[in-house]
Structure 1
Amino acid sequence: MSLDGAYDEGNIFAKILRGEAPAARIYEDSHVLAFMDVFPQARGHVLVIPKHSRARNLMDEEPEVLRELILGVQRVTRAVRAALNPDGIVVTQFNGSTAGQTIFHLHFHIIPRWEGVPVGRHASGGMADMEELKALAHQIAEKIS
């Protein structure tokens, strides 16, 4: 999909927000939801999305929503660091299919990195074990401040 288009109410993140699809939830407040990526690039890969948004990408979003979203991203990134002790953390966001975006609901990726451990390719590889994701979600959630 291009950078422009209509928001799809049937996208998986919209379904998660409506409770129609499962997710290993980490953190939620009135503005954001954080949950484990089911196709992780690394152990502890987390997604953070705005709860009340129909923005397909960063450029579509209102500044007030972005403020709360990035604060949520920062809060969860700190918790990932505290819980998993990675050597580094990638925080990224894609805009348009050519840039790698596969779900057209604004979202950020938080990907912990360890020295010498390769990262998987975005949107490829197998689905993670849901029980393992739930355990990681709980471990990270305990570190939310």
Structure 2
Amino acid sequence: MGDVGERLPCAEEMRTTAAAFVQRVTARSRLPLDYSVASLRVVDFLVDGLRKNGVEEVRVREALFGLGAYVGEVLVRRAGATWIDFEADQRSYFGEPTGVRMPDGRVWNPLGKVRNCFAAGSSQESLRTFYLTLHGRARRPVA
């Protein structure tokens, strides 16, 4: 599903990373990855499908990263978040270089959330539910 490479993208590159991922994935299928909240069900389905195949996380790392970038971009477009580069203590805590900051200042880690969903399964962790229960969202969708 693409090669993230050795150097992970910084915050200013995440929108492009998400778009490139969507382009690669939708070129082969008709998945409705349109950055809507409803599309997070598709992401849940994709993560669960990767998990059910019994593959180790390391083998699908790049796909999970792409899905995490997509989820983060949904937060940017629909919840008013902005991509940020984590500070050293945040990188250590979250295990990721980037995340999103919500309009109220809260910081979230969509890349790690996708990994957690992969590890736990969609019956335990849902990205759509994550969005719907997310604190700090803009009151109205951003666009």
TM over 0.5: no
Give the TM-score normalised by the residue count of structure 2: 0.33
Say which structure, 1 or 2, has more relative contact order (CA 8 Å, 6+ apart): 1
